[in-house]
Amino acid sequence: MGKYLLVIDEGTTSTRAMLFAPEGACIASEAAALDQHYPRPGWVEHDAAEIWRKTLRVTAAMVAQAGGADRIAGIGITNQRETIVFWDKTTGAPLAPAIVWQDRRTADWCAAHREAGHEALVQARTGLLLDPYFSGSKIGWAMREWPALAAAGDRLAIGTIDSWLIWNLTGGLHVTDATNASRTALMRIAAGGWDDDLIALFGAPRAALPDIVDCAGMIGTTSAFGGSIPITGVAGDQQAASIGQACLSPGDTKATYGTGAFILTHAGATQPNSDHRLLSTIAWQLAGERAYALEGSVFVAGSLIQWLRDSLGLIATAAETETLARGVADNGGVYLVPALSGLGAPWWEPDTRAALSGLSFASGKAHVARAALEAMAHQTHDLKTAFAADGQDWASLKIDGGMVANDWIAQDLADMLALPVERPAFAETTALGAAMLAGVGAGLFADLAAASAMRGAVETFAPRTDPAARDTRLAGWQRAVRSVIAAAR
């Protein structure tokens, strides 16, 4: 058996391959940027062929770095979740653009079906809400609006990004893991299979959907790199990050700050229910047994900083925001509500638009940059309040993702949440979780608890702000959020 674990981490803006030693050390990595396409306001698309082409390239580089296919014990895959791909089973070619998780084109359809009373069924069976975020409404829209899909008939394959990659790696295996399936709004997550009532509601063709498999085990094999390598671990990116943060016991909570921000609290072996518009989701499935999590999703996190840099030209680099934030004593009354693609949990207001409020002649670039960073803690606090109301309050928070390399953000989270915040020395916990699953599936570890030794050292940020200042800031944020919601209605 090979000695390395190879991870494919296919995100929203890049695809990357990483090589891990079983003790957790990242030996090497290679990445390629992905283009996002915005054909209309609220629409976000990928070119699935580009995703596969670049994934193949970076993965081949890691196989070469390992010294050949025989040096790899298993491949782990983790991916942007709700993005959906349509392709031809015969040719393997995409039949349409991939519709990205951020896409809002089905907002009106979701609102109409929510008004018609269908959300209760969706929430009870899937743990999700009727929102454009999830794959089901995207599939239904595509089947109605893109004639080439219906015309493909039995040749049509539909799947999330994990399915698309596994299909190409294996030469035609059409599967998805339980975590990705749980984000489609087509799966009855307590039972573990596709739900015929939901398939009919959304208008998804059952025959085009993949089979649902465990997150670890002998999922398939690839011969794309000069030898046979088993695919032994698969999970959606947020579930993989939760595993990589060793959130293995009920109450363990992680927050990932990437393009968006996603918080998962481990909930054990029973599907949790939320009365505060949080999501129930599958944390992992092993040997047919499912563990569950409660999740809150923020649509805009790191993409806000990218927008300040690339669209507004307010900053030259993302790292500049930390210096700017430290350059002013406070936000000067400036708040930025980053509803650039609507508000996610716990608000679920897809029609809201971003707003910058509280400006005066005393406001400068530093106040705007600080307000953007503060929005991370503000949105997280909204979610903490909702989790607590559902009986899943947090004792601490484990953080990861590109944004939290910024020490100012890590400390601000601790201050606004009034909780210790834990940041691992190795911040790429999404890839690490996929490596842990691959290690379990390849037999290198007995279980996830044993695999969690890969996580390594952590740094803790303790709260230190004045409670009155904290309350004042949070009250200003609540006013700003209510204002953008009112403007959208």
Query: pLDDT, tens digit, for every residue of 30-75?
Result: 999 999 999 998 899 999 999 999 999 999 999 999 999 999 999 9
* Interval 184-189 mean pLDDT: 96
Range of weakest confidence among 60-69, 131-140, 344-353, 423-432: 344-353
Range of weakest confidence among 181-185, 400-404, 469-473, 478-482: 400-404
Percent of the chain at pLDDT > 70 equals: 100
* Interval 156-164 mean pLDDT: 98
Q: Which two tokens stand for residue 447?
A: 């279980």
Q: What is residue 432's predicted lDDT score, i.e. its pLDDT?
A: 95
Q: What is residue 1's predicted lDDT score, i.e. its pLDDT?
A: 66
pLDDT band at 405; cut points 50, 70, 90: confident
258 pLDDT exceeds 90?
no
* Interval 383-406 mean pLDDT: 90
Q: What is residue 427's predicted lDDT score, i.e. its pLDDT?
A: 82
Please give the domain boundaries of the chain with CATH numbers for all domains.
4-238 (3.30.420.40), 246-424+457-489 (3.30.420.40)
Q: What is residue 260's predicted lDDT score, i.e. its pLDDT?
A: 84
pLDDT band at 344; cut points 50, 70, 90: confident
Query: pLDDT, tens digit, for every residue of 275-295?
Result: 888 999 999 999 999 999 999
231 pLDDT exceeds 70?
yes
Query: pLDDT, tens digit, for every residue of 294-308?
Result: 999 888 999 999 999
Tell me what the pLDDT averaged over the chain comes to. 94
